[in-house]
Every structure is written in C-alpha cells, then in structure tokens.
Amino acid sequence: MSDLSMLKTKINYNAVWILAKRELVGFWRSKSRVISSLAQGLLFLIVFGAGFSSFSITIEGTSINPRAFTASGVAAIVILFTGIFGGMAIFRDKMFGFMKELLVAPVSRRTLMLGRTLGIALQTLVQVIIMIGLSIAIGSFGYDLDLIWRVLLVLPVALLASIGIVGMGLTISTRLNDMQSFGLIQTFIVMPMFWISGALFAFNTVPLFMQIAMMCNPFTYSVDLFRAVLLGASFFPIWLDLIVMTCFGALFILIGARSFNKMEISQ
C-alpha cells in the first residue's frame, strides 16, 4: 500500500487530540458562550426548580426531592443541546472554508471525524460539570458527602451519552445545505427529544401514550441513568439504560462516520 493510501485510512491520534483541543480552546476563549452557559443553567434551575418544587415525585417507592429531580434533568439536557448543535458546527466550517482545508490535510477522514467528536463530547462534559456545580452551589442536591463520588461517577455517563448525540449532530450537519434547515432540525428533532425525555417530569406521572413516546426516545435512557447515579433511583433498570445508550452511540457514530466520508465540499 502506498504512503498516500496509508494516510487516507490510518487514524492519526495526535491529530485527533489537536482537533479536540481546538474545540475546547474555542469554547473557553468564547466568553459569550461560557457566560451564556452559566446564565442559561441558572435560568433553567431557578425557573424549572421553582415551578416543579411543589410536585411530589416518587421513583420505585423512593421519595425524590423535586429540586434534585429537576436539577439532574437539566444537567442531562445540556448534553442534548450542546452535543447536537456542536456536531452541527461542521456546517459552519463548510460555509467559511475551514472544512475544505481540513479535508485536504494529510490525515484520514476518520481522524477528522474522531477529533471533532471527541472535542465536542469533552466540551459537553465541561458544560455538564458547570451545570452540576451550579446545582450544588444553590443546594439542589443537598450537601451530602456521598454527592462527591456520585458527581465523579456521572462524568463517564455524560461522556457516553454525548457520543450518540454528537454523532447525530455530525450526521445532520454533513447533509445540511442551507441555514434555514437549522430551524427545522430544532423543531422536529431537538425539541421533541427534549420534551419527551422525562428531564422535567416523572415517567410515572404522564398518560400511557406519553410513556410509550418516552420509551421510544433514546435520550430518555440517558436522563434516567443520570438520575440513577445522582439520585440513586431510576424508572428503568440500569442495565437497560446502558444498553440503549451504548447502541445509540455506536449506531450514530457509524452513521456519522459514513456521512462524513461521503461529504463533499462545493467549490
């Protein structure tokens, strides 16, 4: 095999990290994005926390603090919005010519795809940490020492959950051709996944047709696993949450990689 053919198929892990680092540095240097993440997080926690504070929530016979229930759901929501729209940032790179420069670089497309996926997933993880930190600061989870290891344990869960969401965003972005499509994506994909994920209301308090819709939404299982780790209670078995999250992530990473390989940049 020629050196050029090797470059087109081999994964360059150094380049993967450089691309991932670019996403993280870009997020950190954009003070408006950092501030908006903090402001949006506080808004969600205060508004939804106050709105649902009077509700009685029980999961498998365990009484759950409504503020903790809402805070755990809001932390999971960060993954959905950041992961999808982060993955769709490829469309921005296509518009401004940066993607064209990447595609002619002496690295494989698999390298480019893995680098973008890892960078956006890590960026999502940072925002989840910020959100959980805000929740702890305002006392949503209480101040039990067990919360320390629960927060540490939720980080790999957040990373796993973000993989499938980022893959979905990458798949969509490689097929977008105009800016008007963003509104359609938000209306018909992101918002339904958000509202029927159970992030803001309990699975056992909604009608049967809503429960069926929630069970068909793969993001529901990410939210449920978040609560299993942070609150110690969940509506579904943990093994089911893990299986659905893993299959969803693997599926969309494969689809995203295939779409990325077939992506063409107009001159």
Q: Say which residue the tokens 């994964």 belong to.
A: 11
**Are the CB atoms for 41 and 74 separated by under 8 Å?**
yes
- What is the average pLDDT across 6-31? 73
The pTM (predicted TM-score) of the whole model is 0.84
Q: How far apart are CA 74 and CA 87, in angstroms?
A: 20
pLDDT, one tens digit per residue, over 168-186 is: 888 887 777 666 676 677 6
Sign of CA dihedral 118, 170, 158, 249: negative
Domain ranges within the chain, ordered by starting residue: 3-262
Task: Please name the residue ranges forming H helices in 142-265.
Answer: 146-175, 181-185, 191-195, 208-216, 219-230, 238-262
DSSP letter (8 states) at residue 204: G
pLDDT at 48: 72
pLDDT at 222: 92
pLDDT, one tens digit per residue, over 71-99 is: 888 888 888 888 887 766 777 777 766 66
